[in-house]
Amino acid sequence: MKWLYKTVLILLIFAVASSAGFILYLFDKINSAYGDKAAYDLGRGFKHFSLILNSGDEKYWQDFKEGVIEAGKAYNTAIEVHIISEPDSGIKTVEYINIANKSKVDGIIVNGDNTPEYLDAILAAAKGGINIVVGHVESVDSSGLYYVGTNYYAYGQQAARLIARAGGDKKQVNAAVILSGQESGTDAQSNNMLNGLKKEIEGGKQINVLCTPSRTNALLGAEDLTKSILYEYPDVDVIFCMNDKDTMAAAKEIVRRARVGEVVIVGTDYTEEMKYYMDIGVIYGVIDRNGYSAGRKSVEVLSNAANTFQTDCVYIETEIVTTINADEQN
Q: Would you kindly state where each structural domain of the chain is located, as residue ranges?
A: 1-33, 35-150, 152-288
185 or 58: whose pLDDT is higher? 58
- Mean pLDDT, the chain, integer: 83
**What local confidence, expressed as pLDDT, does residue 216 receive?**
64
User: Quick one: pLDDT band at residue 325, thresholds 50, 70, 90?
Assistant: confident
Question: Which CATH entry fits the domain spanning 35-150: 3.40.50.620, 3.40.50.2300, 3.40.1180.10, 1.10.1060.10?
Answer: 3.40.50.2300
- Fold equal for 35-150 and 152-288: yes
In the chain, what percentage of residues exceed pLDDT 90? 59
**What local confidence, expressed as pLDDT, does residue 218 receive?**
52
Give one word for 86, left, alpha or beta, with left for phi > 0 and alpha for psi -120 to 50. Answer: beta
Contact 74, 66 (CB under 8 A): no
Contact 42, 73 (CB under 8 A): no
Mean pLDDT of 77-93: 86
Give the predicted TM-score (pTM) of the model.
0.83
pLDDT over 70 (residue 73): yes
**Looking at domain 152-288, which CATH architecture does it have?**
3-Layer(aba) Sandwich (3.40)
**What local confidence, expressed as pLDDT, does residue 56 receive?**
63
**What local confidence, expressed as pLDDT, does residue 16 receive?**
42
Distances (CA, A) of 14 to 1, 10, 18, 275: 20, 6, 6, 56
The total of other beta-carbon atoms located within 10 Å of residue 264's CB is: 26
**What local confidence, expressed as pLDDT, does residue 117 receive?**
92
